[in-house]
Chain A
Amino acid sequence: QKEVEQNSGPLSVPEGAIASLNCTYSDRVSQSFFWYRQYSGKSPELIMSIYSNGDKEDGRFTAQLNKASQYVSLLIRDSQPSDSATYLCAVNSFGNEKLTFGTGTRLTIIP
């Protein structure tokens, strides 16, 4: 079982709709959760971090964490063509700062 799993996609969403990206993790002591956006040929860009159960909103982005289900998600409201990218879920564990990444979900926003 992979430590961090994401649906590789591609996920196609019409412009203006809500894009929903999901991630599950296997290590129960995981502590910090991050979403990165990576455009083709570019480096990962941190867009959201979440540390406690519930929702965290930042502009058009909402991260949701459910530690009991070992599940973290990212919602993108009012999707724009510029949101088309690969979204990487990353996790670290208590006392261990290295990030474990999922393989990413490729998102395409259709104008």
Chain B
Amino acid sequence: NAGVMQNPRHLVRRRGQEARLRCSPMKGHSHVYWYRQLPEEGLKFMVYLQKENIIDESGMPKERFSAEFPKEGPSILRIQQVVRGDSAAYFCASSPGATVSWSSYEQYFGPGTRLTVT
């Protein structure tokens, strides 16, 4: 029973390059969330997606950041023209979706991608 999978686990990019982070939700989960954790700071919500739909992107910077969750394949968080301030741990979480019971709201986190921008 595989959990949430993320890759790569570590990613080093030079300023100005693009970073692509991938997330595969737990089996049976249809809701995906991306969070960012800056060093010594709390987790901050970025975006919430269901298959082929962005439900809430209120936490995602308007420029350079985008996310998708296609019909087939993993969810992808894309950061264009990375800057040093993008260095952080990016976590993906998944949930079954708030349809059946309260436990449907429970979000389970993947191991994260640690992005370093040099």
What residues of chain A have their CB less than 8 Å away from a CB belonging to chain B?
A: 32, 34, 36, 42-46, 49, 51, 88, 90, 92, 96-104
Contacts and interface: CB of A to CB of B under 8 A. Distances in A.
Given A43-B91, A49-B103, A102 B48 contact: no
Contacts of A51: 102
B52 interface: no
B98 interface: yes
Judged by DSSP, the binding face of A is strand
Contact of B105 (A43, A97, A101, A102): A97
Nearest to A89: B42
Contacts, number: 58
Interface string B39-51: 0011111001000
A98 B102 contact: no
B42 A103 contact: yes
* Chain B: number of interface residues, binned into ranges: 20 to 34
Nearest to A42: B111
Contacts of B44: 101
The residue in A34, A44, A90, A97 that gathers the most chain B C-beta atoms within 10 A of its C-beta is: A97
B108 A46 contact: yes
A46 B106 contact: yes
B90 to A, nearest CB: 11
B41 A44 contact: no
B39 to A, nearest CB: 11
The residue in B31, B95, B98, B110 that gathers the most chain A C-beta atoms within 10 A of its C-beta is: B98
Given A32-B102, A43-B112, A51-B102, A98 B43 contact: no
A49 B42 contact: no
Contacts of A104: 42
A43 B55 CA distance: 24
A32 B105 contact: yes
B33 interface: yes
Contacts of B73: none
A98 B59 contact: yes
The residue in B44, B106, B108, B109 that gathers the most chain A C-beta atoms within 10 A of its C-beta is: B109
Contacts of B107: 34, 46, 99
B56 interface: yes
